[in-house]
Structure 1
């Protein structure tokens, strides 16, 4: 072996000598936390499911969505590690149901006020111009709040008293006789007969 040959297997010919540091990384534990849910966690999941059911959702559909997301068959199969994910699924469903409930309430309020103020056409025009659609159920919650502000601020145009109660104008005699010929002739004959007997 010549002096220029470098072997990397020995400690004598290393380029940097003692500058090498060896690190041994442990593999992440492949074991999962398979503990069952504690009663408080189970109760929290049941409470979220109950609140969703109270808002009109089918309980079977709610739990099917949770089980499908977690790849389990029943709530007893949910582990402590999966609890947070199950709670997030239920919370998202609850938030969506609350949003729908708020939208229904706002739509009802808008329609009731529009009926009271007789402003259905103005409401449709406002929605069509502002949002590009007139179907209130397809609007978002923020858009429905804008519609409610519009309908609350809407004022019915009141007619002035002069326009509603107009004094009848006098019709000239000649115009009356030309328009109401039959009445005028009957009145003339009646006056002639009454005048003949009284005078």
Structure 2
């Protein structure tokens, strides 16, 4: 003969017992409460923000499940809500940082292209950060690189402001007739000098 009980079983004297609804309650340890609706909504909102920044929503939940050792959001107790929110917030911060870095890299490259200063930018990054690949720089380093390229001034070509001197033309040679007419006095004395030299020099 067997005895079958449902619910709480007190004392039984003898015989086979089958208890189909046993709940063991440990005194002093309250039962874990599931997430309330507002907590679930906040976690889902954070997950949506991660998704907007390019994250796969399944990866977001996997990170939460791995950290809290659960298999679904339904298994997250209300007492672990803050921890679950912290996991998603940490992922969100990394996604936002990556988005900011991509934006800064784009602005730096556009400015360097406009100013034709890629070489100067590369030299600055090499000296300041020890690397030239912008994608490998931290956000603070990218901000410094952007400040450098925005303040970079292209040196103008040095141009002599004074006008070039006109080329000197060779002196014109006057024909003998025009010379004698123009410089009569000079021609007379030159003629007299020739006579004197001829008389005293060639005798």
Report the TM-score when normalising by structure 1.
0.66
Q: Which whole-Å CA distance do the structure 2 matches of 1:58 and 1:48 have between them?
A: 13
Q: How does 1:9-48 map to 2 (within 5 A)?
A: 31=29, 34-48=32-46
The aligned residue for residue 102 of structure 1 is 100
Task: Determine if contact 1:33/1:80 at 8 Å carries over to the other structure.
Answer: no
Q: Which whole-Å CA distance do the structure 2 matches of 1:94 and 1:168 have between them?
A: 69
The aligned residue for residue 51 of structure 1 is 49
Q: Which has the larger radius of gyration?
A: 2
Cα deviation, residue 146, structure 1: 0.4
The aligned residue for residue 150 of structure 1 is 148
Question: Which structure has greater helix proportion?
Answer: 1
Tell me which stretches of 4 or more aligned residues in structure 1 moved more than 2 Å. 29-33, 160-163, 166-170
Q: Which whole-Å CA distance do the structure 2 matches of 1:123 and 1:36 have between them?
A: 55
Unaligned runs of 5+ in 2: 1-26, 170-203
Partner SS state of residue 122, structure 2: helix
Q: Which whole-Å CA distance do the structure 2 matches of 1:48 and 1:139 have between them?
A: 27
Q: Does 1:89 align with 2:82?
A: no
Give the number of the structure with larger relative contact order, counting CA–CA contacts within 8 Å between residues 6 or more apart. Answer: 1
Residue deviations 1:27-57 (CA, integer Å, cap 9, x gap): xx86255111111100000000010010011
Cα deviation, residue 128, structure 1: 0.3
Partner SS state of residue 156, structure 1: coil
Unaligned runs of 5+ in 1: 1-28, 173-199
The aligned residue for residue 75 of structure 2 is 77
The aligned residue for residue 7 of structure 2 is none
Report the TM-score when normalising by structure 2.
0.65
The aligned residue for residue 177 of structure 1 is none
